[in-house]
């Protein structure tokens, strides 16, 4: 008897793993909103009439963006590792049995006798004697 075909599947995440994954996604959204919010908050002051206010707003915006550009990759790395480590375990399960009675099988005897049987799917033509 042939050895059963085994499939490699991954179990579902644990509740802690799902929470970590949602925290990771929320962190990404928050970082994007903070970047856009910083640009939106600083923009009107940069184009204002007072040069001292414009310089101060520019310095604040540069410091805020530098902080965000430091926190975002570090947070993504740490949370991404947590997401990776909280995946479900891999398992090997036997493949479900497929009904093979409906699939016609072409045998060497039927090919040699000239009988035509429908071909199974595939892009490679059958080898051997062709009618």
Give per-residue pLDDT as tens, 38-66.
999 999 888 888 899 999 999 999 999 99
Q: Does residue 110 form part of some domain?
A: no
Q: Are strands 6-10 and 90-94 parallel, antiparallel or unpaired?
A: antiparallel
Q: Does residue 25 form part of some domain?
A: yes
Q: How many helices and strands (H and E) does the chain possess? A: 3, 2
Q: Does residue 122 form part of some domain?
A: no
Residue 101 is predicted with a pLDDT of: 46
Please state, in angstroms and rounded to a whole number, the distance separating the CA atoms of residues 108 and 13: 49
Q: Does residue 35 form part of some domain?
A: yes
Q: Report the candidate in 130, 103, 127, 128 with the shortest Cα–Cα distance to residue 116.
A: 130
Give per-residue pLDDT as tens, 90-131.
888 888 876 544 455 555 555 555 555 555 555 555 666 655
Q: Does residue 130 form part of some domain?
A: no
Residues in the chain: 131
The total number of structural domains that make up the chain: 1
Q: Does residue 45 form part of some domain?
A: yes
Q: Which residues pair with 91 in a beta bridge?
A: 9
* Cβ burial 18-34 (10 Å sphere, 16+ → b, else e): eebbeebeebeeebeeb
Residue 73 is predicted with a pLDDT of: 96
Q: Does residue 1 form part of some domain?
A: no
Residue 117 is predicted with a pLDDT of: 53
Contacts of 20 (CB under 8 A, 6+ apart): 79, 82, 83, 86
Neighbouring C-beta atoms of residue 42, cutoff 10 Å: 19
Domain boundaries, position 32: 6-97
Three-state secondary-structure class, residue 90: strand
Q: Does residue 111 form part of some domain?
A: no
């Amino acid at each position: 008897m042939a050895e059963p075909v085994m499939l490699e599947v991954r179990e579902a995440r644990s509740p802690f793993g799902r929470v970590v994954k949602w925290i990771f996604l929320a962190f990404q959204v928050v970082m994007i909103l903070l970047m856009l919010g910083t640009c939106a908050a600083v923009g009107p002051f940069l184009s204002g009439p007072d040069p001292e206010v414009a310089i101060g707003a520019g310095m604040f915006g540069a410091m805020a963006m530098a902080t965000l550009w430091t926190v975002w990759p570090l947070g993504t790395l740490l949370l991404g590792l947590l997401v990776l480590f909280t995946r479900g375990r891999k398992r090997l399960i036997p493949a479900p049995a497929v009904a093979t009675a409906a699939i016609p099988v072409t045998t060497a005897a039927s090919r040699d006798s000239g009988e035509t049987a429908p071909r199974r799917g595939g892009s490679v033509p059958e080898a051997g004697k062709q009618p």
